[in-house]
Structure 1
């Protein structure tokens, strides 16, 4: 069994003050594969103190120094890509065939580096200088569903800004969090600049949220947990960046390519076994066309090969845990109980899989906006198809949600589609399955979050703004902020 007995604080691996072990359960085999030692409130205090000590010097490093640091991190990370793929397959059931989970982080690091190279930390407004300065010590709390990429996006922009970091990964993905700390250690990140403390949210996460020496907290997770983080952070008026839940809608307009829209929706919704906050888990189809899309949805859903995520032929692994498995099944049962029409999938175990947290790719039609499967984030491979009458009705249904993380539109008439895209209350919207761009901001409206990650907007989350007066001559040499 793998052992992860240490935390990473002040540039070295260290034992917790009050060690407590937990076992990580392989969701495919339903048996322990690793033991991880958790930290406590006292360990979080130690990590924050180390980050605070390191901030004074790291915040004054040059852009060239920070670019060189990021390049070293990229080089070391890329040497561990296969190790990360193997580890997250065992931790959270992500198939090794899902290379985006392990190659994506390196791409985000390169984007952050390139933005840093060109970013104007000083600019001019009239005769004044506007400076962007690192905000300070940043607590980064990341989830298990994108266990490496989410943490990397947070920390790499924090480092690019000149901030110091205390990271807390999800307990479910604590092993890959430890491997990421090893990457940073081998890349010679200065002591105290990056610290890792595993632990429960009620212990470590709560301390970081309240801590007076933490200047910013970046949290990705459920909306319920994000609200608690926001309340805790308010006591010290620290900056909060939250990426929370989603229940994204895909509006399929009548002139869309229905087969393309249906197949893409299944692929995007069931990617990562549906455990993605941007998943288009509501598909809105004009009421006269619902029966036309069903065969495509069913065929695409049945193409998934469920099985051991360590096998290259597997395209869908198990969901992360017993609790997640039970929650998804409860939602499927609610769809049946409330009268939705099950067209594929359901409660039965997939054929040939007698153990493991496997859920069949499941599609419901006949879903109404008041049903649980249309309103709640299921976080599993479950798609709800809702009929709409006209464009206004589609937008009303899509926007009738406490969430606003992602949105999608399929259609032929670009002017009409653009009108619908603009009407969606969501932070990221794609037309006809267009790929997202890691230079662009990611974040949500409403209860899907506060702030943005990625790209220039993501860098600026870690920066304070200072106006400086009296240096008119020096200001003239700077680029204008609004020009």
Structure 2
């Protein structure tokens, strides 16, 4: 059993002041393999005080100093990325090869995006060429509380910690208590890279404890949160008394609109994308809308693709999907699969219970429902598991209306050979991101949503600006 009960505060590993012990469970076996401490108010106060004390000096650090530090963090991170992948695999159940390649190593692109953005960013400039006495200054907002999820733990940590430091903020990170060990390794990486004491701090805790304490803390200037919409609402309410900035990246229920002229492999790719990371992605294309003339063929293809998936433990080498993260998530998915059956959706693959031969571990059968309607729970709720819901549409306008008929607005997907149609739909769907014909977003593109999917953006220059205040100064003396 690994003992991981310490926190990283003010440049050193310290014992919890008011912590309670919590086991970390291996989702593949349902057995504990590590023990962490969940912090209390005294621990939260200590971490915030360290960040507050470090802020005046770090605020005045130069862009060159920040660039050098982030490059150093990147270099140490990439040297230890395979180690990071193995840690994430153990705590969230992701297959080892997938965890190293997708969970750990792909953060390199986020480092690149932030380094490019910081290098080009002008923190101090005239309003316009014809207004030399009007000065625009960008300054760090202050102490940033960073609350991250378990599903893509390191991507989300990098997307918050690096722009916070790059902007001149100091930070307190609270990772998910479901995936704490990768964050602790990240703290080791930052320490090795030479982050000044107090500029970065990390403590474990749950949402009702440390999460709520950070959100309401008078000495925290902003909260950047990624997680469920319900938790985002609670954080917004908690931050209201101190009128702190709250940046939210929340849930999603992405529609994948497949037209009759889409590529032959559009359905297969859509199923695979939905089931990646065991379906535990906020931007998963979990609603597949198919033009009616291609619908029956698409249902057959989705069934074949789902039934070809292998489900297994993290150490298996063949391509497969692992378990979901915990018992609560497993039960939620099972309840929603049951709801889909009860509401009359046609179950074409998977269903209730664990896959054959897997009696222990939080394994879910890759599941496909057909003939869904927009009012069904499986079409409206973020399931966060390997469950795909399909329905036909007849016209472009109908596809857009169904896609927009959701509380969420994170990512939508369009598959068509018609460029004019693709552009039209991309403009009409209400989501922060749209992906056309499997073309992934480039390094530095913003990530974030609309409606109840949140109100912030991460990545590149947009992620940097989240941590900055804009100041307007008139009467600036000529130099």
State the TM-score bracket (shorter-chain normalisation).
over 0.9
Task: Map Cα deviations across residues 188-233 of structure 1 (whole Å, 9 max, x no partner).
Answer: 1100000001011111111110111111100000000000001111
Q: What residue in structure 2 maps to residue 123 of structure 1?
A: 125
Give the secondary-structure state (helix, strand or coil) at the position aligned to 1:231: helix
Secondary structure of the corresponding residue to residue 288 of structure 1: helix
SS of match in other structure, 1:452 = coil
CA–CA distance in structure 2, aligned partners of residues 339 and 34 of structure 1 = 43
Residue 194 of structure 1 corresponds to 200
Q: Is the 8 A contact 1:280 1:407 kept in 2?
A: yes
The one of 463, 467, 470 equivalent to 1:465 is 470
**Cα separation, 1, equivalents of 2:180 and 2:319:** 24
Structure 2: gaps of 5 or more residues: none
Contact 1:17 1:39 in 2 (8 A): yes
What is the DSSP-based 3-state SS (H/G/I as helix, E as strand, rest coil) of the residue aligned with 2:172? strand
From 175, 182, 185, give the equivalent of 1:176: 182
Q: Does the CA-based 8 Å contact 1:23-1:32 persist in structure 2?
A: yes
- The question of whether the paired residues in 2 share the 8 Å contact of 1:97 and 1:315 is answered with no
1:149 matched to 2:155? The reply is: yes
Name the residue aligned to 1:84. Answer: 84
* Superposition deviation, residue 312 in structure 1: 2.4
**Pair 1:73-2:110 in alignment:** no
Q: Distance in 2 between matches of 1:310 and 1:76?
A: 25
Q: What residue number does 1:369 align with?
A: 374
Gaps of 5+ in 1: 475-483
| Aligned counterpart, 1:480 | none
Note the alpha carbon deviations across 1:257-281, whole angstroms, 9 max, x for none.
Answer: 2x32201111111110000000000
Distance in 1, Cα, partners of 2:71 & 2:460 = 17
Q: Is the 8 A contact 1:86 1:310 kept in 2?
A: no
Structure 2 partner of 1:454: 459
Task: Answer yes or no: is 1:385 the counterpart of 2:385.
Answer: no
Q: How does 1:214-233 map to 2 (within 5 A)?
A: 214-233=220-239
Question: Which stretches of structure 1, 4 residues or more, deviate above 6 A after TM superposition?
Answer: none
- Distance 1:472-1:431 versus aligned 2 partners, 3 A rule: farther
CA distance in 1, matches of 2:76, 2:317: 24
C-alpha separation in 2, matches of 1:316 and 1:174: 21
Report the 3-state secondary structure (helix = DSSP H, G, I; strand = E; otherwise coil) of the residue aligned with 1:447: helix
Q: Provide the rounded CA distance (Å) in 1 between the counterparts of 2:239 and 2:401.
A: 34
Secondary structure of the equivalent of 2:178?
Answer: helix
Verify the 8 A CA contact 2:254 2:409 in the aligned structure 1.
Answer: yes
**Are residue 318 (structure 1) and residue 320 (structure 2) matched?**
no
**1:158–1:165 contact (8 Å) kept in structure 2:** yes
Deviation at 1:388, TM superposition (A): 1.4
Deviation readout 1:431-472 (Å, 9 max, x if unpaired):
001112231111111000011111111100000001121226
What is the aligned partner in structure 2 of residue 51 from structure 1? 51
Distance 1:124 1:290 in 2: 57
**1:314 shift after superposition:** 4.2
Question: Is residue 2:410 matched to residue 1:408?
Answer: no
246, 250, 256: which one pairs with 1:250?
256
Contact 1:307–1:314 (CA under 8 A) maintained in structure 2: no
CA distance in 1, matches of 2:422, 2:206: 44
2:29 maps to: 29
Partner residue in 1 for 2:300: 295
User: What SS class does the counterpart of residue 153 from structure 2 fall into?
Assistant: coil
In structure 2, distance between residues paired with 1:387 and 1:273:
25
1:342 aligned residue: 347
So what's the TM-score if we normalise by structure 1? 0.96
DSSP-derived class of the 1:441 partner: coil
Q: Aligned partners of 1:414, 1:79: CA distance in 2, in Å?
A: 42
- Is the aligned partner of 1:101 residue 2:132? no
C-alpha displacement at 1:115, in angstroms? Answer: 1.4
Q: Distance in 1 between matches of 2:441 and 2:392?
A: 27
Where 2:257 maps in the other structure, the secondary structure is: strand
Which one is further off, 90-99 or 241-250?
90-99
Partner residue of 1:478?
Answer: none
CA contact under 8 A between 2:334 and 2:353: conserved in structure 1? no
Q: Distance in 1 between matches of 2:124 and 2:315?
A: 48
Matched-pair contact (CA < 8 Å) for 2:18–2:41: no
SS at 2:109 equivalent:
helix
Contact 1:48 1:214 in 2 (8 A): yes
* Deviation sequence 1:102-146 (CA, Å, 0-9, x none): 012222112211211111112222411111111100000000001
Partners of 1:153 and 1:324 lie apart in 2 by 25
Q: Secondary structure at the match of 1:242?
A: strand
- SS of the residue aligned with 2:462? helix
SS of the residue corresponding to residue 256 of structure 1 reads coil
- Which shifted more, 150-159 or 108-117? 108-117
* TM-score of the aligned structures, taking structure 2 as reference length: 0.97
SS of the counterpart of 1:403? coil
Matched residue of 1:276: which SS? coil
| Mean Cα deviation higher: 454-463 or 90-99 | 90-99
